[in-house]
Amino acid sequence: MSAAENKAVFLSYASQDTEAARRLCDTLRASGIEVWFDVEGGLEHGDEWDAKIRRQIKECVLFIPLISASTQARHEGYFRIEWELAAQRAMGIAGGVPFILPVVIDDTREPTALVPDRFRAVQWTKLRGGKVPPDVQARFLALWSQRTGAQNALAVAGRGSPLLPSGSDGPPPSAFETAKPAPAERSVAVLAFANQSSDRDNEYFSDGIAEELLTTLQKIPGLRVSARTSAWSFKSRPATAQEVGEKLGVAHVVEGSVQKSGNRVKITARLSRAASNEEVWSRSFGPLELTDVFAMQSDLAQTIVGELRGRLTDEAAASAKAEIRAQVELAQRGGTKNADAHHLSLQGRFFATRSTSSDVVRGIDFYERALRLDPAFATAWADLARARIWQGTWEPEHAERFAQARMAAERALALDPDLASSHAALSQMMQRHFFEWRTMRTEIARAVALAPSDAAILTDACSSSYMLGEWDRAIDFGRRAVSLDPLNPEARLLLGVAYLFSGHIFEARDELRRAIEISPEGIFAHLLACMVELEAGQPEAALALAKCEPARMHRLEGLALAQDACGRRAESDLALQALKAEFADSSPYKLAHIYAARGQPDDAFHWLDHAWRVRDPGIAWTKVAVLLRSLHTDPRWPEFMRKVGLSDEQLQ
């Protein structure tokens, strides 16, 4: 039997781990996966047994080594021969094609694991004792089906998302725990501060104090600070410091509480070691008048930076304090000393970051009230620009909203030319409405230079780069963003898009799966995952994903694409007509997408021209969209590229 015909998974383990291997084997077999489990073979160790094992490793579709304290303790063993044989075979397998799937069954860590180097080049899965939760079982089934060509890769679609089992509360990002190296000592996560005020509506204030601390620390050179989305994912599901450290890859955690009553506030903060929850430093501030909060915030940031640096590097105290004070003051530039304006801006950020239409409108109102009190409040102008971009992207009056966003960002930069968030906002509006591509590239480059550790800016840089076809830069930015913000579905989604457009199908599938795990109800991820399966030649899997897309507009697009790929043109036509009836004016680019994929170039160019006339944000995808490739040989293609400013010579 050839390797192409085989459908077996090979389990490799030390004899001490037989029970864990048996549990894993039983779970895989229950999914319909064929497993080679040599303990059942009945052969004594000898030439015949050795030849069988070598043949199986040569022919299996997936190789799963179980890594544990037992394998660490045994410097010799037949499993080590199996591992080396698998590593040698992997050298001849194309990058991105899954083959070796290391499984850690205890607390063994990757940096100290005694394994072939090839094992470190792929994702590790942690399954304590060989017990497999349903979501990991689904992942193994998908990978196995992907390698064997089976069509049941996403058979779980009938139970909900094909990539997340029914009944999951989502995140948990713990579904695929990856063995990671020890975090950098100067790394920290700032968790949302607890609101201990009698009035629950004061949550905006406790959130704001923590977020401003996080933002300040993010700008300090030499510190690695987990981004807000990931750090605050624990707000609704409390976790131990150790869990936070493991999930976010940080060595330290900052926690705190805020008690506000009228114009007086009391704030406590604690810095601890994540691995042990050992307290490094703690302090209580107040009760303070609101006008004293600015000094407290500066003091708090300086103290935390000092503790991280002083304890860990033994720097000279006097010079270190002066340097830290200067860095914190620089990081807090662009703010306000007007307590009322500050108070209003915290409320604005609280609502604007919720990303629903009504909340964003409320956030904008608070920002504008803050700016009436302090027109020189640069960061509030930058935040207002971001909120207006959100409005412009999703509301019909997008031209007016983007004009307002541009005015706000330019006002912020006039006040502070080195405000990274304003440069990033300008880049985003060039991408989504004004389509000034070289300005987009210049502005995001400036933002990254000013804030190289800001995950949100790196995510913007990822999207800006892949829209210009700059794949290596896009993937690098995306990976850096995910490293800083691993529990942010948008960061993983955009990295997945970069992988998809650059032809890295397996990596794209993995990142989009993770985005869906983190936010099962998040819009757009299922549609993108549908496109990945279409690229992979799996139309039924694509259809299952399209059906799970929560946003109707994206769901109709996915259904039209996938039904057509499945050979069901009538069903595709129904979805296409519904999309046209409801969204032709707001999203004509989607119609161009579908017609191009269906091999109808005249209709595709008609809707591309319409998308350009109405400034559909989808235009930004035109140069690199995989579903438009059928148009690239049409003589109208280079003409359209020049019209929208995306021809190669125009981008130089």
pLDDT of 3-43, one tens digit each? Answer: 445 678 999 999 899 989 988 998 888 777 888 886 643 33
Average pLDDT over residues 109-137: 81
Q: How confident is the model at residue 183 (pLDDT cuts 50, 70, 90)?
A: confident
Q: What is the DSSP string of 209-272?
A: HHHHHHHHHHTSTT-EE--HHHHGGGSSS---HHHHHHHHT-SEEEEEEEEEETTEEEEEEEEE
Same domain, 460 and 584: yes
Q: Is residue 378 part of a domain?
A: no
Same domain, 115 and 222: no
Alpha-carbon distance 595 to 592, whole Å? 5
Q: How confident is the model at residue 141 (pLDDT cuts 50, 70, 90)?
A: confident
Same domain, 136 and 192: no
Q: Is residue 476 part of a domain?
A: yes
Greatest extent of the chain over all pairs of C-alpha atoms, in Å: 85
Assess whether pLDDT exceeds 70 at residue 355: no
Assess whether pLDDT exceeds 90 at residue 628: yes
Assess whether pLDDT exceeds 70 at residue 2: no
Alpha-carbon distance 494 to 501, whole Å? 11
Assess whether pLDDT exceeds 50 at residue 326: yes
Average pLDDT over residues 140-157: 59
- 62-67/125-126 β-pairing: unpaired
Average pLDDT over the chain reads 85
Same domain, 520 and 625: yes
Nearest CA among 383, 209, 350 for reference residue 293: 209
Same domain, 143 and 228: no
Q: Is residue 124 part of a domain?
A: yes
pLDDT winner (highest mean) among 110-124, 155-169, 214-228, 604-618: 604-618
Average pLDDT over residues 139-155: 63
Assess whether pLDDT exceeds 80 at residue 164: no
Residue 542 contacts residue 561 (beta carbons within 8 Å): yes
Average pLDDT over residues 68-72: 92
pLDDT at 126: 86
Nearest CA among 624, 565, 556, 615 for reference residue 590: 556
Output 309 or 61, whichever has higher pLDDT. 61
What is the CATH number for 43?
3.40.50.10140
What is the CATH number for 257?
3.40.50.10070
Q: How many structural domains does the chain have?
A: 3
Same domain, 40 and 108: yes
For residues 546, 458, 229, 323, the Cα torsion angle rounded to the nearest 10 degrees is 180
Same domain, 196 and 246: yes
Same domain, 196 and 149: no
Give the model confidence (pLDDT) of 388-412 as tens digits. 998 887 776 678 889 999 999 999 9
pLDDT at 65: 95
pLDDT at 428: 93
Assess whether pLDDT exceeds 50 at residue 176: no
> Which domain-ending residue is among 332, 348, 381?
332
Same domain, 614 and 471: yes
Q: What is the residue range of 449's domain? A: 417-651
pLDDT at 13: 93
Q: Above pLDDT 90, what percent of the chain? A: 46
Q: Is residue 433 part of a domain?
A: yes
Output 417 or 199, whichever has higher pLDDT. 417
Give the model confidence (pLDDT) of 494-528 as tens digits. 999 999 998 888 889 989 998 998 888 888 999 99
Q: Is residue 179 part of a domain?
A: no
Same domain, 225 and 115: no
What is the CATH number for 638?
1.25.40.10
Q: Is residue 96 part of a domain?
A: yes
Same domain, 317 and 431: no
Rg (Cα) of the chain, in Å, rounded?
27
Q: Is residue 383 part of a domain?
A: no
> Which domain-ending residue is among 297, 312, 332?
332
Output 170 or 121, whichever has higher pLDDT. 121
Q: Is residue 172 part of a domain?
A: no
The tokens 């060989």 sit on which residue? 130
CA distances 548 to 540, 542, 580, Å, are 13, 10, 20
pLDDT at 571: 96
Measured over the CA atoms of residue 227, residue 232, residue 553 and residue 398, the dihedral's sign is: negative
Which region among 50-64, 170-184, 327-341 has the lowest average model confidence (pLDDT)?
A: 170-184
Alpha-carbon distance 346 to 374, whole Å? 14
Q: The whole model's pTM is what? A: 0.70
Same domain, 106 and 212: no
> Which domain-ending residue is among 312, 332, 352?
332
